[in-house]
Amino acid sequence: MLKTAERPKSEQPREADSERKGRKASKETRRLQLIEATIDSLAKRGYSETTMADVADGAGLSRGIVNFHFESKEKLLVATLQHMSEEYAAHWRGALDKAGDDPAKRLAAVVAADFDRAICSRRKLAAWCAFWGEAKSRPTYQALCGSRDLAYQNTMVELCAALAKDGGYAFDPEKVALGLAAMLEGLWLRLMMGGEEINREKAHEAALEHLAIVFPKHFAQSGARRT
């Protein structure tokens, strides 16, 4: 009979794997806590005033834990920007996948994704603006934001080109896609800076109105949408 502390050899590797997975999950959970606390600090204090101590206090963890996971403020900020960039890309790609094959529905889904609560919150918008303000002088930030923006912009160009072909619109898809992306970024900035006169729903409505003007055969203006 096996003693209480003994386990069959066949079970030992599984137990070791389980322990490793538990440690890995704990490490990932701790990293995410720190990243979320960094987003909060960027939104509250801005880029230059955010410190490792602020992040540790915000996460309810020791400063040694922050140093253990990220070593420096710069590494923590890079990890935070990468997390936000990957989250944003996964969100709009997911919306695109669910929209089907119709290019108008696909474009509407990508636009709507920008105003989803999971992505478009005051704290995350403020964190994005903090990074944008530093990107010009930090090549790492430019690379992280640039790769995300390029994939997004290429998708917007493809959708605008498909709608131009289907509707017989006489415009340059690249220029229209660039203008649409700039308009969406501008609405994000207004949401971060604005007061009660603008919210996510109003910003989304403004974006849809823009689509109706550019693609009148595919999108209805606000009056028609309410009837």
Say if residue 42 is in the same domain as residue 91: no
Residue 177 lies in a domain: yes
136 neighbors 73 (Cβ within 8 angstroms):
no
Positions of the chain with pLDDT under 70:
1-25, 146-148, 195-196, 223-227
Burial class (CB in 10 A: 0-12, 13-18, 19+), 195: exposed
Q: How far apart are CA 191 and CA 179, in angstroms?
A: 18
The predicted structure's pLDDT at residue 147: 63
The predicted structure's pLDDT at residue 83: 94
Say if residue 27 is in the same domain as residue 130: no
Q: How far apart are CA 189 and CA 207, in angstroms?
A: 14
Residue 38 lies in a domain: yes
Q: Is the dihedral of CA 206, 210, 215, 221 positive or negative?
A: positive
The predicted structure's pLDDT at residue 216: 96
Say if residue 52 is in the same domain as residue 113: no
Say if residue 57 is in the same domain as residue 135: no
List the CATH number of the domain containing 92. 1.10.357.10
Residue 2 lies in a domain: no
The predicted structure's pLDDT at residue 33: 93
120 neighbors 112 (Cβ within 8 angstroms):
no
Q: How far apart are CA 45 and CA 173, in angstroms?
A: 39
Residue 160 lies in a domain: yes
Say if residue 121 is in the same domain as residue 187: yes
Q: Which secondary structure element, helix H or strand E, spans residue 102, and what is its range?
A: none
CA 60 vs CA 33, 57, 77, 209: distances in Å: 9, 5, 18, 44
State pLDDT tens for residues 116-163. 999 999 999 999 988 888 877 788 777 777 666 788 999 999 999 999
- Looking at 55, 71, 87, the residue that finishes a domain is 71
Say if residue 66 is in the same domain as residue 152: no
List the CATH number of the domain containing 31. 1.10.10.60
107 neighbors 177 (Cβ within 8 angstroms):
no
The predicted structure's pLDDT at residue 143: 78
The predicted structure's pLDDT at residue 194: 73
Question: What's the structural domain count of the chain?
Answer: 2
Say if residue 101 is in the same domain as residue 159: yes
The predicted structure's pLDDT at residue 150: 85
136 neighbors 184 (Cβ within 8 angstroms):
no
Q: How far apart are CA 45 and CA 122, in angstroms?
A: 13
Say if residue 67 is in the same domain as residue 98: no
127 neighbors 39 (Cβ within 8 angstroms):
yes
For the whole model, what pTM was predicted? 0.81
**What is the extent of the structural domain holding 18?**
14-71
Say if residue 120 is in the same domain as residue 200: yes
Say if residue 115 is in the same domain as residue 133: yes
Say if residue 89 is in the same domain as residue 164: yes
- Looking at 38, 56, 71, the residue that finishes a domain is 71
Residue 4 lies in a domain: no
Say if residue 128 is in the same domain as residue 100: yes
State pLDDT tens for residues 47-58. 989 999 999 999
- Where does the chain have alpha helices with state H? 12-45, 52-59, 63-70, 73-98, 103-113, 122-135, 139-167, 173-193, 200-214, 222-226
- Looking at 25, 45, 71, the residue that finishes a domain is 71
